[in-house]
Amino acid sequence: MHEPAISHLSAADPELAGLVEAEATRQYEKVRLIASENYVSTAVLEATGTVLTNKYSEGYAGKRYYEGQQVIDQVETLAIERAKALFGVDHANVQPYSGSPANLAVYMALANPGDTVMGMALPDGGHLTHGWGVSATGKWFNPVRYGVAKETGTVDLDQVRDLAREHRPKLIFCGGTAIPRTIDFPAFAEIAREVDAVLVADIAHIAGLVAGGAHPSPVGHAQITSTTTHKTLRGPRGAMVFSDAEYAKALDKAVFPGLQGGPHNHTTAAIAVSLGEAATPEFRVYAHAVVANAKALAAALLERGFDLVSGGTDNHLILVDLTSKGIGGKPAAQALDRAGIELNYNTVPFDPRKPFDPSGIRLGTAAITTRGLDVDLMPKVAEWMDGAVTAAGAGDEAAIERIAAEIRELLAGYPMPGYTA
Ligand SMILES: *Cc1c(COP(=O)(O)O)cnc(C)c1O
């Protein structure tokens, strides 16, 4: 059952309530390895479900366009102060609706359409909003893209420097969605300084690790940091943008009135709650456990003959090239889902296959670590993955069913925030 209980919803709209319960049960019974997902605490869930959703508050604390902000101003200020303290930044804007609009706000604050911008190519691990062609950021700006080196599978900083010198971009984005290794913020900062570009660190994936001291911080190196709040940071779906004092005004103006109307106050409240949680010693332990689990899972996968991009991981994320296993990413991901292991198919760098049927799968350990799974269980997870991939190749649905049943049995011993069994 969902927790907090959804009794009013069940009475008013049993059809929808049934779907919510079904999703809660699905999350309870799966080994959730999608690298961008997590389980938020019951406190964060409660904050998102409050009357704060009823209030319009365009503007910023003390400068709103609607009356009745006595409480909302305090909620948003609390979120901002917690973000500033946790990440050690001069300025924080907590209003962006999600990571993509947050990045768009960065462009709007610091660049004009047609300007040259630089980011990591999507197939190499970058995000759509770092100037990929189908994104508004790739259509409205002049994107230059760097990637990873073929031999190492890690960011090619020589290429970054060469491209930056040649194209002199206004903005350089570092960070991405499928980067299993530590991002070298000082190296990016040096390149950005040399070509007079503003460095933007997009820490959407690793924000929780940064907050918990399990990944170096971009603060002091990047003038702008953008992040989602719902990945390793374990907050509600939302985003934040941090900056040096110099860019504060431009960023705030870009978020509102540049791109958005009223902020989602219930989300802001839940962000404040999650930032409070992320400032605790328990969260530091969590962030380090996420990385320990990823390293243990990577080692166990390597032992079973899986080929990992860059050879392993430094963070929460693992990118697997399945070519050596003789199966594509999509059929593997679908079979793994049937086996109770949820992840996504993903392109790998220099992928010879098409994006809708790529060679790889991407996984992360943020959610299973929240659930309490530890390093001792990672060889078992790798065994299940290997079994499911092999069974998929052999068309052995019975084996896949057996794995799903074993997983349900194991997970019954690991409580899920937001659910009572
Ligand atoms: C997830 C992600 C985003 C976008 O976040 P949404 O909330 O999905 O819009 C932006 N940048 C990076 C690096 C991400 O991983």
* DSSP label at residue 323: G
Amino acid present at 365: T
Residue at which a domain ends, from 249, 278, 307: 278
> Same domain, yes or no, for 175 and 234?
yes
Q: What are phi and psi of 124, to 5 degrees?
A: -95, -5
pLDDT given at position 161? 98
Which is nearest to 286 in space by CA: 366, 227, 224?
Answer: 366
- Catalytic-labelled residue, pool 64, 237, 253, 408: 237
Tokens of 76: 């948003």
Count of alpha carbons within 13 angstroms of residue 415, beta-carbon side:
8
Alpha-carbon distance of 38 to 133, in angstroms, equals 29
Binding residue ranges for (6S)-5,6,7,8-tetrahydrofolate: 122, 126-128
4 within some domain: no
pLDDT given at position 257? 98
Q: CB neighbours of 399 closer than 8 A, spacing ≥ 6?
A: 387, 388, 390, 391
Q: Beta 317-321 vs 360-364: how paired, if at all?
A: antiparallel
Distance 136 CA to ligand 1 centre (A): 14
- Catalytic-labelled residue, pool 3, 25, 56, 386: 56
Alpha-carbon distance of 187 to 146, in angstroms, equals 14
Q: How many CB atoms lie within 10 A of CB 329?
A: 27
> Same domain, yes or no, for 107 and 255?
yes
> Same domain, yes or no, for 62 and 196?
yes
Residue at which a domain ends, from 278, 298, 318: 278
Per DSSP, the three-state class of 145 is strand
> Same domain, yes or no, for 321 and 234?
no
> Same domain, yes or no, for 309 and 385?
yes
19 within some domain: no
Alpha-carbon distance of 247 to 10, in angstroms, equals 47
Tokens of 101: 């609009």
- Check which CATH number belongs to the domain holding 254 and give it: 3.40.640.10
Alpha-carbon distance of 64 to 80, in angstroms, equals 16
Tokens of 225: 């940091």
Kindly state if the Cβ of 128 falls inside 6 Å of ligand 1: no
Amino acid present at 10: S
Kindly state if the Cβ of 232 falls inside 6 Å of ligand 1: no
Distance 227 CA to ligand 1 centre (A): 7
* Confidence check: pLDDT of 7 > 90: yes
> Same domain, yes or no, for 273 and 301?
no
Q: CB neighbours of 324 closer than 8 A, spacing ≥ 6?
A: 305, 306, 307
Domain count of the chain? 2
Q: For residue 355, what are the β-bridge partners?
A: none
30 within some domain: no
Which is nearest to 384 in space by CA: 365, 360, 403, 358?
Answer: 403
Tens digit of pLDDT for each residue in 218-267? 999 999 999 999 999 999 999 999 999 999 999 999 999 999 999 999 99
Tens digit of pLDDT for each residue in 83-141? 999 999 999 999 999 999 999 999 999 999 999 999 999 999 999 999 999 999 999 99
Alpha-carbon distance of 333 to 30, in angstroms, equals 13
Tens digit of pLDDT for each residue in 329-362? 999 999 999 999 999 999 999 999 988 899 999 9
Q: What are phi and psi of 174, to 5 degrees?
A: -125, 155
Pocket test for ligand 1, best of 122, 132, 177 (most atoms within 8 A of CB): 177
397 within some domain: yes
Binding residue ranges: 122, 126-128
> Same domain, yes or no, for 78 and 216?
yes
Q: What is the domain extent for residue 325?
A: 285-411
Residue at which a domain ends, from 278, 308, 339: 278
- Does pTM surpass 0.85? yes
CA 276 to centroid of chain Cα atoms: 19
198 within some domain: yes
Q: What are phi and psi of 60, to 5 degrees?
A: -130, 165
Tens digit of pLDDT for each residue in 174-228? 999 999 999 999 999 999 999 999 999 999 999 999 999 999 999 999 999 999 9
Q: Which atom of ligand 1 is nearest to the CA of 239?
A: 7
164 within some domain: yes
352 within some domain: yes
Alpha-carbon distance of 128 to 122, in angstroms, equals 6
Tokens of 28: 């309870």
Helix, strand, coil proportions of the chain in percent (round to 5)?
50, 15, 35
Burial of 9 (0-12, 13-18, 19+ CB in 10 A): middle
Task: Work out the pLDDT band at 25, boundaries 50, 70, 90.
Answer: very high
Tens digit of pLDDT for each residue in 34-81? 999 999 999 999 999 999 999 999 999 999 999 999 999 999 999 999
pLDDT given at position 356? 87
Tens digit of pLDDT for each residue in 374-415? 999 999 999 999 999 999 999 999 999 999 999 999 999 999
> Same domain, yes or no, for 264 and 125?
yes
- Check which CATH number belongs to the domain holding 307 and give it: 3.90.1150.10
> Same domain, yes or no, for 189 and 259?
yes
> Same domain, yes or no, for 264 and 341?
no
What is the residue with the minimal CA distance to atom 5 of ligand 1?
A: 99
> Same domain, yes or no, for 96 and 237?
yes
88 within some domain: yes
pLDDT given at position 234? 98
To the nearest whole number, what is the mean pLDDT of the chain?
Answer: 97
> Same domain, yes or no, for 306 and 165?
no
